Amino acid sequence: MADSGGSSTAARISVDGGAGHYKKLPNFLQSVRLKYVKLGYHYLISNAMYLLLVPAVGALSVNISGDGAAQLWNHLRFNLVAVAAAAAALAAFVATLYFMTRPRRVYLVDFACYRPAAAAMCSKEVFMERSRAAETFTAENLEFQKRILERSGLGQKTYFPEALLRVPANPCMAEARKEAEMVMFGAIDDLLEKTGVRAKDIGILVVNCSLFCPTPSLSAMVVNHYKLRGNILSYNLGGMGCSAGLISIDLAKQLLQVQPNSYALVVSMENITLNWYFGNNRSMLVSNCIFRMGGAAILLSNKPSDKKRSKYQLIHTVRTHKGADNKSYGCVFQEEDDAKQVGVALSKDLMAVAGEALKTNITTLGPLVLPMSEQLLFLFTLVARKVFNMKIKPYIPDFKLAFEHFCIHAGGRAVLDELEKNLDLSQWHMEPSRMTLYRFGNTSSSSLWYELAYAEAKGRIRKGDRTWQIAFGSGFKCNSAVWRALRRIDPTAEKVKNPWMDEIDEFPIEVPRVTKID
């Protein structure tokens, strides 16, 4: 039935099946038309400079072709005002072109690391008690885990999820979701409080968690909890190992290059609840002993107005993937053991593979960050070895000339020992990584942020300081990120939402090579 205005009949549907309860369907055709009008308007305004300049340049080129060019030159030779005006116009055009085409700068506004409640602390003795209570490990493998813990470099205050601290343990999907929500939301809440940014202002979301990939995804979980806007660019990275945090940073950087005036939220974490191994394969038991609960949230921006309040500027990201090599691909592998228990097996080739990946990564990174003196020494050594077949050791550049701070993924004591030796770093440089391993354990991709938080809490970060974050992960991957501090970081202000909080004065702690467990 037509309405009183004589317009076409409006379509109606029943909401609950009862008479008289109807709602109008939206006028989709009108919405589509409006959408394309807005898109056309956006395109016109965004490309106004090009649309205006192209006809002008075309007309100018026609006018100055042939005899016109000679007449223009004769006119300009004796007219200094015209020459100056033409030069100014050309300079303005070149400057405009440069500023519109150069990559956008990416700033780290702030970050937050999740610190669980004291009830989630898991001392080494508690860990061994829970392992015995599981009643799935042989006596020999309980002793094996004890030896790993004694030499791991972990302290007595690392954190475990609630489901694994219970007796008996209760690893299930509901508990895994509970852990994920607690870690992610805890870190994001702190970050939003520190920055004052509204959740609705975030345009890009990247979440990485290697071993826990539920449906809906973890990124959808964040979108739902914080009611993020409907056009957010959301990504969920799984199965990419401990280096996925820097992959997330690189992905967010690339997205910020094409999304003007945007905020990007990066969330890095690992989930322990469903990934504790209950079998007796020793290559899979190592991860039980060193992985702990933790996570971080990082806010990036490409807004020039955010430079003054941001902590760091992202200078470089370098990613290396050695997955084409079978030995590298299989050195960290999730699989079933002979008893069909799922775990992550660590190969004996892990250190050698990590060394090769590191060498490839720093070969790419070196020319971007090292001073010319170091690059020349490296080049001379390379030529002497490859061209003249001289029996000399490869030259390892001094990266201490390129960086003031090093955040090396706290994957384990052996990894940190090797990098300290190969990069010729001091105990002071290694302190953030070793203390993070001691206090929080291996928190996977988020460990780099606990390390940077340590350096901030210690008052080490000065304006202009460069920090190198480097992480290794399954696949096998080695990834780097380089940050430059935009201001001095005040440690007194950082203690409010810093995971080290009032404990920072207790560090550094001398960690024995072997710490006996009662």
Active-site residue identified among 113, 209, 275, 321: 321
Neighbouring-strand partners of residue 317: 481
Burial 85-111 (b: 16+ CB within 10 A, else e): eeeeeeeeeeeeeeeeeeebbbbbbbb
Rg (CA), the chain: 29
Which residues contact residue 310 at a Cβ distance below 8 angstroms, ignoring those fewer than 6 apart? 107, 108, 109, 110, 301, 486
Q: Would residue 21 show up in a list of annotated catalytic residues for this protein?
A: no
Residues 6+ apart with CB under 8 A from 95: none
Say which DSSP state 7 is in.
P
Q: Which entry of 208, 236, 302, 442 is annotated as an active-site residue?
A: 442
What distance in Å separates the CA atoms of residue 438 and residue 413, rounded to the nearest whole number?
10
C-alpha 131/C-alpha 119 separation (Å) is 18
Q: What is the distance of C-alpha 43 from the center of its chain?
A: 32
- Nearest-angstrom CA–CA distance, 201 and 109: 14
Confirm whether 47 is a catalytic residue.
no
- The one catalytic residue in 113, 122, 209, 242 is 242
Give the 3-state DSSP-derived string for 363-413, with helices as H, strands as E and coil as C.
HHHHHHHCCHHHHHHHHHHHHHHHCCCCCCCCCCCCHHHCCCEEEECCCCH
Residue 302 annotated to the active site: no
Report residue 108 as tokens: 């780290």
The residue from 405, 407, 479, 498 that is catalytic is 405
Active-site option among 280, 302, 409, 479: 409
Q: What DSSP letter does each residue of 205-221 carry, written as one string?
A: EEEE-SS---SS-HHHH
Helix axes 139-150, 124-134, angle to 10 degrees: 160
Residues with Cβ within 8 Å of 1's Cβ and at least 6 positions away in sequence, in order, are 9
Residue 405 bears catalytic tag: yes
Asked if residues 297 and 267 have their Cβ atoms less than 8 Å apart, the reply is yes
Identify whether 209 is a catalytic site residue. no
Rounded Cα distance, 221 and 267, in Å:
12
Contacts of 348 (CB under 8 A, 6+ apart): none
Amino acid at 247: I
Give residues with Cβ within 8 angstroms of 122, minimum separation 6. 130, 158, 159, 160, 165, 292
Which residue from 479, 471, 488 is spatially nearest to 411, judged by alpha carbons? 471
Q: What is the DSSP string of 256-310?
A: HHHSSS-EEEEEEEE--GGG---S--HHHHHHHHHB--EEEEEEEE--GGGTTT-
What's the CA gap between 469 and 407, in Å, rounded? 5
Select from 233, 177, 173 the least CA-distant residue to 207.
233
Question: Catalytic residue numbers?
Answer: 242, 321, 405, 409, 442
